Amino acid sequence: MKYCSQCGAEIVVRIPDDDNRERHVCSSCDTVHYQNPKIVAGCIPAWEDKVLLCRRAIEPRHGFWTLPAGFMELGETSLEAAVRETLEEANARVDIQDLYMVINLPHVDQVYMMFRSRLLDTEFHPGSESQEVGLFTQEEIPWDTLAFATIRETLRYYYEDVREGAFRTRAGDILRNENGYRFILHSGDRS
């Protein structure tokens, strides 16, 4: 960020008077341009004992498999965002059930919100951001070519809950380290 989006003057990085951290502030009109984490909303579309996955046609992780998910837009709820992303990426219609996983990714300033959902029919086909869309049983899931750690953790807990016969909402963090990442569950595990 170099220029003020309100007046076009140059931006300086400084701590505003009533604040305690550095912000991008306009050198002319003093507008403070806050930056905040973004929400990625998506779902686990279930059909019998299978889930729908999309093979990515875009970067990052082109060619890898993912659950339908994407950035939440202004004016919508996280549930609406999950439904829209599933339609855009897989042309698939879902009935959203519970909020299932909330995962913080502080190294990329994202928070994932993944819902459980029921696929309403099997008339899906790849949207422009997917090269392939398909249904997978637990054994068929391409665990080694999943696109993101968030997707791996969501599916891992999902099948753990399928086995237990009960689903619960979980929240946790994915923290990058030298070996890849660490997943820290801080809410929702069995007590």
Please give the Cα distance from 63 to 13 (Å, whole number).
39
CA 140 to chain centre: 22
Q: CB-wise, 140 or 164, nearer to a copy of itself?
A: 164
Tokens matching residue 131: 């090269």
Spatial distance between the Cα atoms of 173 and 35, rounded to a whole number of angstroms:
20
- Residue 149 binds to a copy of itself (criterion: CB under 8 A): no
Q: Is 74 in the site for a copy of itself (CB under 8 A)?
A: yes
CB nearer a copy of itself, residue 7 or residue 142: 7
Q: Are 86 and 94 in contact (CB under 8 A)?
A: yes
Minimum CB distance to a copy of itself, residue 76 (Å): 6
Instruction: Please report whether residue 122 would count as binding a copy of itself according to CB under 8 A.
Output: no
Radius of gyration of the chain (CA): 19
CB 103 within 8 A of CB 155: no
Tell me how many residues contact a copy of itself (CB under 8 A).
Answer: 49
Q: Is 37 in the site for a copy of itself (CB under 8 A)?
A: yes
* Angstrom distance (rounded) from CA 68 to CA 60: 14
State yes or no: residue 113 binds a copy of itself (CB under 8 A). yes
Residue 143 C-beta: closest distance to a copy of itself, Å: 26
The reply on whether position 177 binds a copy of itself by CB under 8 A is no
Asked if residue 75 binds a copy of itself (CB under 8 A), the reply is: yes
Which residues, at least 6 apart from 152, have a Cβ–Cβ distance to it below 8 Å?
Answer: 143, 146
Please report, as ranges, the residues that interact with a copy of itself according to CB under 8 A. 1-8, 11, 18, 20-21, 33-39, 71-80, 88, 96-99, 102, 104, 106, 109, 111, 113, 115, 128, 168-169, 171, 173, 186-188
